[in-house]
C-alpha cells in the first residue's frame, strides 16, 4: 500500500441524528481533504450538519465508491478546478432520504437515492455552469454520513440493488452507458473493446453483454479474464503475454475490427485501440490511466470513417436511462472490495494498487 493513504486518524464517534424534526445543529463524521504543507491528506472530522433548505433534502449516505479521479484529487493532480482544502471527497454515493425541505416534491423520507455526478446537469447538453457542479473535492462530496443537497441532484436507485451496488453507478456506470449507447449507438452484434477490468470497463462488459453485443476485454491477469468470461465476455486478451494485443482483438472480429471502444487507458492505449477499430466504428475517449493523450490521430479516424467522442460522465437523464436498463436486465454492479468508514485511507490504497475487479466501495 502507498503510505500517503494509510495514515491512522483519531476521531470521536458521533451519534447519527436524522434531522427530521430537529432545528439544532447536529454532528456527523465526514472525511475531508486536509491541507498539509503543499500537499493534501485525508482527515476524518466531526462536522455540523444543517437542516435542508426548502428545495433540498438530507440523505443518510450508506455507501460510496471510488474512481481514479479521486486518487488524482488527493495527489493534487486533478486539473478541473483543483481540489479545495477542507472539502469532501468522492462523487459517488447512495443512501436514504431522512429529511426534506418544504418545497420538495421529488422525494420523501425513506426513499432510496443516489447523487448524480454533476449536481445541476439534469438533461440536454452540458454548460460551463453545470460542469462546474461535479461532486467531490468540494462541499458536494459524498464521503459523509449525511449530505444535504438539492433534490434535483438525485435519482431513485433500482429496487434490486443494494446501497453498495448503487453507489458504484454515478460516475463509472453513467460513463459506460453514455459512451456505448448515447454516443456509440450500440446495437446487438457489435464488437466492443474494453480495456482492463476497472469500473468503467466492467460496466461496459455487463451492459454490452446484456444488449446482445460481443464484448472483448483485456487484462494482464488471467484470473480477471476468467471472471470477465463469467460475466459474458465474448473473448479475452492478456495484454502482458500478448503485447500486440490490438492485433489479437482484430483477429477475434474476423479481421473487421471492433465497432465500439471504451478507451480508458490514455496515451499508451489509444493508438492500439485505433488499430483495433473497424470502419465506421466509434471510440469513446474516457480516461488517462497512462496519462491523457494530447493528440487525437485525426488521419486514422478519417481513414476509417470513424468517430471519437470525449466522455465526461453524463446528465441526470442519462443516469435515469442507465437505471431503467439495469432494472430491465436485473444487472448487478460488481463490487470487489468493501471498506468501513474509518478505513477510507485503505480503500484509497486499494484503488491505487489496481488489484481489484470492478469497483471499490466504502460502507458508512
226: CATH: 3.40.50.720
For residue 179, tell me if it sits in a domain: no
Q: Are residues 193 and 150 in the same domain?
A: no
For residue 162, tell me if it sits in a domain: yes
Q: Are residues 197 and 231 in the same domain?
A: yes
- Give me the pLDDT at residue 299, please: 81
Q: Are residues 300 and 340 in the same domain?
A: no
Instruction: Provide the domain count of the chain.
Output: 2
Q: Are residues 132 and 67 in the same domain?
A: yes
Distances (CA, A) of 77 to 4, 210, 334, 349: 14, 36, 27, 16
CA distance 52 to 235: 49
Q: Are residues 323 and 292 in the same domain?
A: no
What does the block give as the cell for 89?
Answer: 471527497
For residue 178, tell me if it sits in a domain: no
Full 3-state SS string of 162-221? CHHHHCCHHHHHHHHHHHHHHCCCCCCCCEEEEECCCHHHHHHHHHHHHCCCEEEEEECC
- Give me the pLDDT at residue 38, please: 75
Q: Are residues 306 and 197 in the same domain?
A: yes
Q: Are residues 133 and 32 in the same domain?
A: yes
3 state SS of 151 = helix
Boundary residue ending a domain (310, 328, 348):
310
- Give me the pLDDT at residue 116, please: 98
Find the CATH number of the domain harbouring 44. 3.90.180.10
Q: Are residues 99 and 15 in the same domain?
A: yes
For residue 176, tell me if it sits in a domain: no
CA distance 265 to 275: 14
For residue 158, tell me if it sits in a domain: yes
DSSP string, 32-92: EEEEETTEEEEEEEEEEEPPP-TTEEEEEEEEEE--HHHHHHHTT---SS---TTBBP-SE
For residue 189, tell me if it sits in a domain: yes
For residue 245, tell me if it sits in a domain: yes
Range of the domain at 48: 3-171+314-363
The Cβ-side half-sphere exposure at 143, using a 13 Å CA radius, reads 31
Q: Are residues 109 and 216 in the same domain?
A: no
Burial environment of residue 173 by CB neighbours within 10 A (0 to 12, 13 to 18, 19 or more): buried
Q: For the CA atoms of 243, 75, 120, 112, what is the dihedral angle to 10 degrees?
A: 80
Q: Are residues 282 and 319 in the same domain?
A: no
Boundary residue ending a domain (291, 310, 329):
310
What does the block give as the cell for 306?
Answer: 470513424
Q: Are residues 224 and 276 in the same domain?
A: yes
For residue 233, tell me if it sits in a domain: yes
Pick from 99, 200, 110: nearest CA to 157: 110
Q: Are residues 10 and 83 in the same domain?
A: yes
Per-10-residue mean pLDDT of the chain, 364 residues long, equals: 35 32 70 86 94 97 96 79 82 98 98 98 97 93 97 98 98 98 98 97 98 98 98 98 96 98 86 95 79 67 91 97 98 98 97 96 98
Burial environment of residue 206 by CB neighbours within 10 A (0 to 12, 13 to 18, 19 or more): buried
Amino acid at each position: 500500500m502507498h503510505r500517503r493513504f494509510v495514515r491512522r486518524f483519531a476521531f470521536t464517534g458521533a451519534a447519527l441524528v436524522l434531522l427530521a424534526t430537529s432545528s439544532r445543529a447536529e454532528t456527523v463524521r465526514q472525511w475531508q481533504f486536509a491541507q498539509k504543507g503543499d500537499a493534501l491528506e485525508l482527515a476524518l472530522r466531526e462536522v455540523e450538519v444543517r437542516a435542508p433548505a426548502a428545495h433540498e433534502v438530507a440523505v443518510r449516505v450508506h455507501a460510496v465508491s471510488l474512481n481514479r479521479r479521486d486518487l488524482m484529487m488527493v495527489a493534487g493532480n486533478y486539473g478541473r478546478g483543483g481540489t479545495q482544502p477542507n472539502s469532501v471527497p468522492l462523487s459517488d454515493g447512495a443512501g436514504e432520504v431522512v429529511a426534506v425541505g418544504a418545497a420538495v416534491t421529488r422525494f420523501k423520507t425513506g426513499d432510496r437515492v443516489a447523487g448524480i455526478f454533476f449536481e445541476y446537469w439534469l438533461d440536454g447538453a452540458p454548460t460551463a455552469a453545470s460542469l462546474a457542479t461535479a461532486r467531490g473535492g468540494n462541499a458536494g462530496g459524498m464521503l459523509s454520513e449525511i449530505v444535504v443537497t438539492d433534490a434535483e441532484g438525485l435519482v431513485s436507485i433500482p429496487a434490486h440493488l443494494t446501497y453498495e451496488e448503487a453507489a458504484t453507478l454515478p460516475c463509472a456506470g453513467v460513463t459506460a452507458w453514455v459512451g456505448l449507447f448515447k454516443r456509440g449507438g450500440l446495437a446487438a452484434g457489435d464488437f466492443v473493446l474494453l480495456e482492463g477490468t476497472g469500473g468503467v470497463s466492467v460496466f461496459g462488459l455487463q451492459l454490452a453483454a446484456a444488449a446482445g453485443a460481443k464484448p472483448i476485454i483485456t487484462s494482464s491477469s488471467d484470473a480477471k479474464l476468467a471472471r470477465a468470461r463469467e460475466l459474458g465476455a465474448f473473448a479475452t486478451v492478456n495484454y502482458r503475454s500478448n503485447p500486440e494485443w490490438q492485433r489479437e482483438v482484430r483477429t477475434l472480429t474476423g479481421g473487421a475490427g471492433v465497432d465500439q471502444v471504451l478507451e480508458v487507458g490514455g496515451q499508451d492505449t489509444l493508438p492500439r485501440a485505433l488499430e483495433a477499430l473497424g470502419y465506421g466504428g466509434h471510440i469513446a475517449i474516457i480516461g488517462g490511466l497512462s496519462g491523457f493523450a494530447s493528440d487525437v490521430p485525426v488521419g486514422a479516424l478519417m481513414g476509417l470513417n470513424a468517430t471519437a467522442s470525449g466522455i465526461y460522465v453524463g446528465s441526470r437523464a442519462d443516469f435515469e436511462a442507465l437505471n431503467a436498463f439495469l432494472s430491465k436486465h436485473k444487472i448487478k454492479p460488481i463490487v470487489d472490495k468493501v471498506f468501513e468508514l474509518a478505513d477510507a485511507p485503505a480503500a484509497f490504497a486499494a484503488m491505487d494498487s489496481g488489484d481489484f475487479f470492478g469497483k471499490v466501495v466504502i460502507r458508512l
